[in-house]
């Protein structure tokens, strides 16, 4: 990891900057967003281009931070023959070189990057003339500043802090991730709540059940049992959020439930979910982008953790509660499984038949205990309190 001493970069001479955020899901994009956008503050007059995969680009889409956004699919190719895959990678690599152009003065690669991304930055940076900064498992001539390997198994922000300090941004504390939403987003949520008769924010609980990995998701029957118990104890209005790919998963949960609920899966953008969280008294989720949004909005949260290590970004009056029961041995086994066969580059694994799937060590009682601890600060009242 870097020492925090910046590279020799004269701000006036840095006219073109390339920021690379690839191999990155929506949650990871939310976490890194403040450390990407802060580059604009450091170089207000530079022409800044963002290179990102689809999920990350969707998070960064709003605002006027970047002069241009280029979508990359370099690391998200479907499995095929060895020769066909190499040809597809080469074609995408040269397409990106053409789209980006040459002559960048500074190239920053967030997260661990990939050797192809480092090579891309090296090429568009003039084959060594640009300052190329990032993480790498091994020392490489493709980087001007070596920060060592990136640890994917922690969400701690210190690795992002070390990266931006390497370009002369002197920050010593984590920056709260923030995903802004517009008045239109807020108005849409207001209309939706009215349409479903959900007028009392002290009863609104958001359940976000989805992840890219089955080993980070909870069992569907336990989600259903939890939701029913929340309705019984707190007269809660249950709202599920998720992506379009999670619609069937959430519908299965709803079929197991006795109480009514509403699903917004596939119907909202991340900014709209942020607007919904701002009106909710509690969110129960797995370690995902939604967990980051609860910290940005100040919404009380209970997060179910598996092999990852979710952390509170900054101390606040209502910190999220983390429910984690997974043994270190199982977490290590899952991590090795994730890293095998390039699965991380392919974006996830949803094999629900795997014995490591489902966060089986976490019981409904564990989560309800955490909810009870959050209830007072969240403004969540029991049925008796609602009726009094």
DSSP per-residue codes, 18-44: EEEE-S--HHHHHHHHHHHHHHHHH-T
Query: So what's the pLDDT on residue 98?
Result: 95
CA angle, 203 then 206 then 211, to 5°: 165
Beta carbons of 92 and 74 less than 8 angstroms apart: yes
Distance between CA atoms of 92 and 104, rounded to whole angstroms?
20
pLDDT in tens, 84-122: 778 888 899 999 999 999 999 999 999 877 888 999 999
Same domain, 380 and 246: yes
Least confidently predicted of 36-40, 168-172, 223-227, 316-320:
316-320
| pLDDT level of residue 387 (50, 70, 90 thresholds) | low
The answer as to whether 2 is a domain residue is no
4 part of a folded domain:
no
Is pLDDT of 342 > 50?
Answer: no
Q: Are residues 129 and 190 in the same domain?
A: no
pLDDT of 169 reads 86
Per-residue pLDDT reduced to its tens digit, 7-62: 445 667 789 999 999 877 777 788 888 899 999 989 999 999 999 988 888 888 76
pLDDT, tens digit (0-9, with 9 covering 90-100), for 139-162: 888 888 888 888 876 666 888 999
pLDDT over threshold 60, residue 78 = no
pTM recorded for the entire structure = 0.77
CATH number of the domain residue 381 falls in: 3.40.50.2000
Cβ–Cβ < 8 Å for 284, 302: yes
216 in Cβ contact with 249 (< 8 Å):
no
Reduced to 3 states (helix: H, G, I; strand: E, B; else coil), residue 343 is helix
In a domain, 365, yes or no: yes
Q: Are residues 152 and 198 in the same domain?
A: no
Residue 7 lies inside a defined structural domain of this protein: no
Domain encompassing residue 362: 183-387
In a domain, 318, yes or no: yes
Whether 333 contacts 370, CB under 8 Å? no
Domain boundary among 133, 165, 197: 165
Which H or E element spans position 52? strand 47-52
The token pair that represents 94 in the structure block: 């040269």
Residue 9 domain flag: no
Q: Do 243 and 374 have their domain in common?
A: yes
Residue 3 lies inside a defined structural domain of this protein: no
Last residue of a domain, one of 138, 165, 192: 165
Note whether residue 6 is domain-resident. no
Are 136 and 276 found together in one domain? Answer: no
Q: Confidence band (pLDDT; 50, 70, 90) for 388?
A: low
Q: At what angle do helices 220-234 and 247-256 cross, to 10 degrees?
A: 60
Question: How many domains are there within the chain?
Answer: 2
Average pLDDT, whole number, for the chain? 84
Final residue of a structural domain among 131, 165, 199? 165
**Is 361 found in the same domain as 235?**
yes
């Amino acid at each position: 990891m870097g020492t925090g001493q910046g590279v020799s970069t004269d701000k006036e001479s840095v006219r073109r900057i390339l920021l690379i955020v690839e191999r990155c899901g929506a949650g990871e994009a939310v976490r890194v967003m403040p450390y990407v956008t802060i580059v604009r503050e450091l170089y207000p007059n530079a022409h800044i281009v963002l290179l990102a995969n689809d999920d990350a680009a969707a998070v960064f889409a709003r605002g006027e931070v970047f002069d241009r956004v280029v979508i990359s699919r370099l690391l998200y190719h479907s499995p095929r023959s060895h020769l066909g895959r190499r040809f597809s990678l080469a074609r995408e690599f040269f397409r990106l070189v053409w789209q980006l152009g040459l002559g960048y003065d500074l190239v920053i690669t967030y997260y661990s990057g990939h050797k192809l991304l480092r090579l891309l930055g090296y090429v568009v940076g003039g084959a060594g003339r640009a300052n190329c900064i990032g993480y790498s498992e091994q020392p490489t001539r493709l980087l001007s500043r070596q920060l060592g390997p990136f640890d994917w198994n922690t969400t701690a922000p210190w690795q992002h802090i070390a990266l931006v300090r390497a370009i002369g941004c002197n920050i010593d504390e984590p920056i709260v991730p923030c995903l802004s939403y517009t008045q239109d987003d807020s108005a849409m949520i207001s209309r939706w709540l009215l349409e479903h008769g959900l007028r009392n924010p002290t009863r609104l609980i958001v359940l976000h059940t989805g992840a890219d990995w089955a080993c980070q998701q909870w069992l569907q029957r336990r989600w259903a049992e939890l939701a029913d118990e929340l309705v019984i104890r707190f007269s809660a209005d249950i709202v599920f959020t998720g992506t379009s790919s999670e619609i069937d998963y959430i519908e299965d949960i709803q079929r197991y439930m006795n109480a009514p609920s509403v699903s917004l899966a596939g119907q909202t953008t991340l900014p709209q979910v942020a607007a919904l969280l701002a009106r909710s008294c509690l969110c129960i989720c797995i370690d995902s982008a939604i967990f980051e949004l609860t910290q940005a909005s100040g919404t009380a949260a209970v997060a179910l953790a598996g092999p990852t290590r979710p952390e509170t970004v900054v101390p606040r009056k209502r910190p999220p509660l983390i429910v984690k029961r997974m043994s270190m041995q199982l977490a290590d086994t899952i991590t090795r499984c994730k890293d095998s066969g390039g699965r991380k580059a392919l974006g996830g694994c949803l094999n629900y038949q795997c014995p490591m799937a489902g966060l089986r060590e976490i019981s409904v009682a564990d989560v309800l205990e955490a909810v009870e601890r959050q209830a007072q600060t969240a403004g969540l009242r029991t049925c008796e309190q609602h009726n009094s």
